Amino acid sequence: MAVLSDRDIKKRITEGSLKIEGLDFNSISLASVDLKLGNKFKIFKTTQVTHIDIRESVPADMMETIEKKDHEPFILHPGEFVLGSTKEYVKIPDDLVGRLDGRSSLGRLGVVIHSTAGSVDPGFEGYLTLEIANISKVPVSLWPGTRVCRLTFDTMTSPSEIPYNKRKESKYNKQMEPLASKIFLDK
């Protein structure tokens, strides 16, 4: 596998094989694309939760969606975990794998932008859900529209035989906002 360069990313976007709606071309760097924080956040209502059973669906009333305007920060408190999403809608072609990483500048403040599952499967389409945690001891304001993560692209030796968008067990394809875990659907 090889990582796409800025030149190859621009070429793929221009020819339409890689789609990133809402992308500012100035966000393309040497070998990645910086993505911005969206406006919707999903938080657990911790006062109402005794536990989460991974074999069961997360009840809708266990989480709350908070929507912020571009000029309103989301305050992430110490020890808090939230789901956010990217402002950009991505569509990965069948011959690329995306890799999502948080920005070091936020990590230096104790903010982890994506804690697990940093791979974006070939054929995935949607807004990327971000697993955001504050491991510092001070609250941090997160502003919608801020560059929070980067997406790099690895080329595959051949296109995926059954890409994510064609697998019937795909749980998060075409997601439009942060979604709670659907691990209970695993077989």
Catalytic residues: 131
Nearest one of 85, 83, 90 to 122, comparing CA atoms: 90
Q: Which two tokens stand for residue 70?
A: 């571009």
**Mapping DSSP to helix (H, G, I), strand (E, B) and coil, where does residue 183 land?**
helix
- Three-state DSSP class for residue 12: helix
Instruction: Spell out where 33-155 has E strands.
Output: 33-36, 40-44, 63-67, 74-76, 81-91, 96-102, 111-112, 119-120, 125-134, 140-142, 147-155
How is residue 155 written in tokens?
Answer: 């080329």
The contacts of residue 67 (CB under 8 Å, 6+ apart) are 39, 40, 41
Residue at token pair 């005794």: 50
CB 135 within 8 A of CB 112: yes
Amino acid at 15: E
